[in-house]
Amino acid sequence: MPRLSPDALAAHPPPAGVALPRYDRARLSPAIVHLGLGAFFRAHGALLTEDVLNARGGDWGIVGVSLQRPDQRDRLGPQGGLYTALERGPGGARARVVGNLLGVHVAPEDPAGVVALLAAPETRIVSLTVTEKGYCHDPATGRLREDHPDIRHDLASPDAPRTAVGFLAAALRRRRDAGLRPFTVLCCDNLPDNGALLAGLVRAFAARVDPGLADWVAEAVPFPSTMVDRIVPATVEDDRAEVQAATGLRDEAPVVHEPFRQWVIEDRFEGGDRPAWELAGAQLTADVRPFEHMKLRLLNGAHSALAYLGTLAGHRTIVEAVGDPALAAYLARLWAEVRPMVPPPPGQGLEAYTDELLARFGNPAIRHLTAQIAMDGSQKLPQRLLSTVRERLAAGLPIPALALAVAAWARHAEGLDETGAPIELRDPLAPAIRAALASGGDAKARLGALLGLEAIFGTDLPAHAGFRAAVAGAYERLLASGARAAAAG
């Protein structure tokens, strides 16, 4: 079976039902550099860019940068950047070949080369999906963690960075020194006010290296905020087999996604220079916050809660978890707590939104692993769940469903599900979490130590008697009855 590549595509055209690029790839230039080239961006931002190129043409090529491992480069390089996107819905699947990816760089192998790529005049947008932990910040406060080992390295060696923040600062400094206009920095991660947050992190880093650069960044560099939404499970071998059957070509780097997609973008770009993403259905707006707020609290918060409770109950995927009547009933109660704290975006009804979420979670064609969603909980809880907790407590409102989600995170962190099977703790704060659990005492003492982790819960929630009591009660129910019984209420 030939492997997907430009030559193979020409020699072995896929069946008529497989969509192919309709533009001239030779016209593309490295206009967008994307940091953190994983499955999500290739199934979301790159696909909307592909739709714009198919509709209008242009030169909006994408160059990916892997900040840690060579895996993506090694899979996509032999394919000339081509890959297959497989859309799976309840009615079946359809495949398309995506052509706008020009290449992939591996930052640890050549950090100076990545800085040069970002600083090149051809680069007009630098976008990012590096996950919450990739910003090296304190999720409870939003501040740059100057004690983070990689940030310390980048401050000491600013021309050979390791972090996304370090690469942005190094490239922007070079652009400023060369008298070039800045690129637009487009954060596409699930962080509140993600553009403003990243701008603050870059300025804080720059101030330590070159105070004048921090001033220039504040004055000249656009950091528009975005809200991204599409369920993109990790690719497995069965997915590669399905793509091969659909296209007649072997693809080592396909992505799988649901039909739904949403991209809300603050329309603030250097010189107004951007792809016409609105042609592909993106919503360009002056204020992303209502959309971001809704998605973080209602979708991402529910995803995390289902991931922890579902894993404890032995469910491997979100579709399994939401198909459990006890967890589905819990989800309805969780959304009933969260919706009153979420101002709806213009024209959006929140009950209709959560009804649609329930249908998306229940899409049997998408196997989104609970373990994938549960990882990095220390970075996710503050914005997905704890912000709503704080607002309800401040309003004197109860938090039983939210408290159960926090208690399920604590039980999950202990490393065993209810059958005694091990749960891997994958979290940047894993050493601190393990130290809290090992601090001695009974289950109540272990929970108290976890809730005392300031990097996650701040200083206010551990001191709030109502919060601690609600989580402790939920935790006791989990211990006594298990996740399904606790979720059933």
pLDDT band at residue 326, thresholds of 50, 70 and 90?
Answer: very high
Q: What is the DSSP letter of 77?
A: G
Residue 256 lies in a domain: yes
pLDDT of amino acid 310: 97
Instruction: Determine phi and psi for 185, rounding to 5 degrees.
Output: -105, 115
pLDDT of amino acid 384: 97
| Residue 441 pLDDT > 90 | no
* Residue 93 near residue 87, CB atoms below 8 Å: yes
Regarding whether 183 and 66 lie in a shared domain, the answer is yes
* CA distance to 47, 404, 473, 487, per residue, from 477 (Å): 45, 9, 6, 9
Last residue of a domain, one of 285, 311, 332: 285
Read off the pLDDT of residues 13-71 as tens digits, 9 standing for 90 and up. Answer: 999 999 999 999 999 999 999 999 999 999 999 999 999 999 999 999 999 999 999 99
| Residue 476 pLDDT > 80 | yes
Residue 436 lies in a domain: yes
In this structure, what token pair is assigned to residue 166? 């370090």
CB atoms within 10 A of CB 27: 12
Contacts (Cβ under 8 Å, ≥6 apart) of 165: 135, 136, 144, 151, 154, 198, 201, 202, 205
Residue 1 lies in a domain: no
Regarding whether 367 and 264 lie in a shared domain, the answer is no
Residue 208 lies in a domain: yes
Pairing relationship of beta strands 184-187 and 83-89 according to DSSP bridges = unpaired
Q: Is 22 exposed, middle or buried (0-12, 13-18, 19+ CB in 10 A)?
A: exposed
Mean pLDDT for 241-256 is 98
Regarding whether 414 and 385 lie in a shared domain, the answer is yes
pLDDT of amino acid 268: 98
Query: What 3-state class would DSSP assign to 467?
Result: helix
Mean pLDDT for 314-342 is 97
| Residue 344 pLDDT > 80 | yes
Regarding whether 207 and 111 lie in a shared domain, the answer is yes
Read off the pLDDT of residues 116-138 as tens digits, 9 standing for 90 and up. Answer: 999 999 999 999 999 999 999 99
> Across all residues in the chain, what is the average pLDDT?
97
Q: What is the DSSP letter of 234?
A: P
**E strands of 261-352, at which residues?**
262-266, 283-285
Residue 331 lies in a domain: yes
Regarding whether 265 and 302 lie in a shared domain, the answer is no
Rounded Cα distance, 197 and 69, in Å: 26
* CA distance to 151, 204, 334, 466, per residue, from 298 (Å): 32, 31, 9, 23
pLDDT of amino acid 439: 86
Last residue of a domain, one of 285, 318, 340: 285
pLDDT band at residue 489, thresholds of 50, 70 and 90?
Answer: confident
pLDDT band at residue 380, thresholds of 50, 70 and 90?
Answer: very high
Range of the domain at 376: 289-488
Mean pLDDT for 179-184 is 98
In this structure, what token pair is assigned to residue 483? 């996740």
Rounded Cα distance, 126 and 167, in Å: 11
| Domain count of the fold of the chain | 2
Mean pLDDT for 180-198 is 97
Read off the pLDDT of residues 89-104 as tens digits, 9 standing for 90 and up. Answer: 988 999 999 999 999 9
Mean pLDDT for 101-120 is 98
Last residue of a domain, one of 254, 285, 316: 285
Regarding whether 247 and 113 lie in a shared domain, the answer is yes
Regarding whether 298 and 277 lie in a shared domain, the answer is no
Residue 299 lies in a domain: yes
Rounded Cα distance, 436 and 471, in Å: 16
Regarding whether 96 and 72 lie in a shared domain, the answer is yes
| Residue 440 pLDDT > 80 | no
Regarding whether 239 and 330 lie in a shared domain, the answer is no
Residue 195 lies in a domain: yes
Read off the pLDDT of residues 276-295 as tens digits, 9 standing for 90 and up. Answer: 999 999 999 999 999 999 99
Regarding whether 306 and 247 lie in a shared domain, the answer is no
Q: Which of 433, 414, 434, 430 minimizes the C-alpha distance to 422?
A: 414
Q: What is the value of pTM for the model shown?
A: 0.93
Cα-only R_g, the chain: 23
Regarding whether 443 and 327 lie in a shared domain, the answer is yes
Tell me which residue has tokens 């967008």: 32
pLDDT of amino acid 289: 95
CATH number for the domain that contains residue 68: 3.40.50.720
Mean pLDDT for 329-349 is 96
* CA distance to 40, 45, 152, per residue, from 100 (Å): 15, 11, 35
Regarding whether 444 and 316 lie in a shared domain, the answer is yes
* Residue 251 near residue 235, CB atoms below 8 Å: no
Looking at this protein, which amino acid is placed at residue 306? L
CATH number for the domain that contains residue 371: 1.10.1040.10
Query: What is the percent of the chain where pLDDT is above 70?
Result: 100
Residue 114 lies in a domain: yes
